[in-house]
């Protein structure tokens, strides 16, 4: 018989809940990861994964929750909590890396409370692919760092986010969602655009302004990367929050 699983998504601000039911095995993990990935790409403040109706048929399959949590660590910086009231999923999680990477609670109300308490502050802006977008991105960084008392982060974060936005303006040419997130000790910057084309740094002698800009991002950021996001991609960078 084919493996079957259902996923119900409930968007209750500030915590989004994904309720899984059915059989979790190595076949259905792809479906589960795709659902979690789509939810994370929307950048909710926090995410609860409810396993109340789930049966684990393969111990290795719970690694899908580790993969999703690690995917969220750099971008979109969404805290995850698992609700596992049934003995079978709870036991499988306890003996896996998922139980060490993701907090697990036996009660969904408690899981939601923990997730809400872990939610991180964000500031967002929707920008069009025009030259003024870089200035608006810098203003967003200044506003965020002022609100969160991070004076030393203003200059490097402004440069990095301006370069990420400028790269979208020059190459993707699509509207973009810009997000500044504080999860101490890091300040996370992200730009989601509508192009699947990979963002890659160029050579130091390259004339293309976008390639040089990403080289600058690589120099200033502690980490940076790119990930699929819906029909486009997210390019993110992490700097010290100080």
Give the lowest-confidence range in 62-71, 90-99, 112-121. Answer: 90-99
Is the pLDDT higher at 129 or at 39? Answer: 129
* Residues 55, 88: Cα–Cα separation, whole Å: 7
With a pLDDT cut of 90, the percent of the chain lying above it is: 67
**Which residue segments constitute the domains of the chain, with CATH numbers given?**
5-118 (3.30.750.24), 122-240 (3.30.565.10)
Give the lowest-confidence range in 18-27, 91-100, 169-178, 199-208. Answer: 199-208
Structure tokens at 202: 């160029």
Checking if the pLDDT of 7 tops 90, the result is: no
pTM for the full predicted model: 0.84
* Residues 229, 12: Cα–Cα separation, whole Å: 21
Is the pLDDT higher at 116 or at 14? Answer: 116
pLDDT digits (tens, 9 = 90+) for 132-164: 999 999 999 999 999 999 999 999 999 999 999
Question: Region 79-106: what's the mean pLDDT?
Answer: 90
Average pLDDT score over the chain: 89
Is the pLDDT higher at 21 or at 208? Answer: 21
| β-pairing verdict for 186-193 and 122-127 | unpaired
Checking if the pLDDT of 3 tops 60, the result is: no
DSSP secondary structure letters along 77-115: ---EEEE--SHHHHHHHHTSSHHHHS-EESSHHHHHHHH
């Amino acid at each position: 018989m084919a493996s079957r699983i259902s996923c119900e998504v409930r968007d209750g601000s500030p915590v989004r809940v994904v309720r899984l039911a059915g059989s979790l095995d190595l076949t259905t993990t792809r479906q589960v990861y795709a659902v979690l990935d789509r939810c994370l790409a929307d950048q909710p403040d926090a995410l609860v994964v409810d396993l109340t109706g789930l049966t684990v048929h393969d111990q290795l399959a719970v690694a899908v929750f580790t993969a999703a949590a690690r995917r969220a660590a750099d971008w979109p910086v969404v805290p995850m909590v698992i609700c596992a009231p049934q003995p079978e999923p709870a036991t499988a999680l306890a003996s896996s890396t998922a139980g060490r990477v993701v907090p697990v609670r036996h009660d969904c109300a408690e899981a939601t409370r923990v997730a809400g308490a872990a939610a991180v502050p964000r500031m967002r802006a929707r920008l069009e692919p025009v030259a003024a977008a870089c200035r608006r991105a810098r203003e967003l960084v200044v506003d965020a760092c002022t609100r969160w008392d991070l004076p030393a982060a203003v200059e490097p974060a402004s440069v990095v986010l301006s370069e990420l936005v400028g790269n979208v303006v020059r190459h993707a040419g699509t509207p973009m969602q810009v997000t500044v997130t504080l999860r101490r000790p890091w300040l996370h910057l992200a730009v989601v655009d509508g192009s699947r084309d990979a963002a890659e740094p160029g050579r130091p002698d390259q004339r293309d302004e976008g390639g040089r800009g990403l080289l600058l991002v690589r120099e200033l950021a502690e980490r940076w990367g790119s990930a699929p996001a819906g029909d486009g991609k997210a390019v993110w960078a992490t700097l010290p929050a100080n």
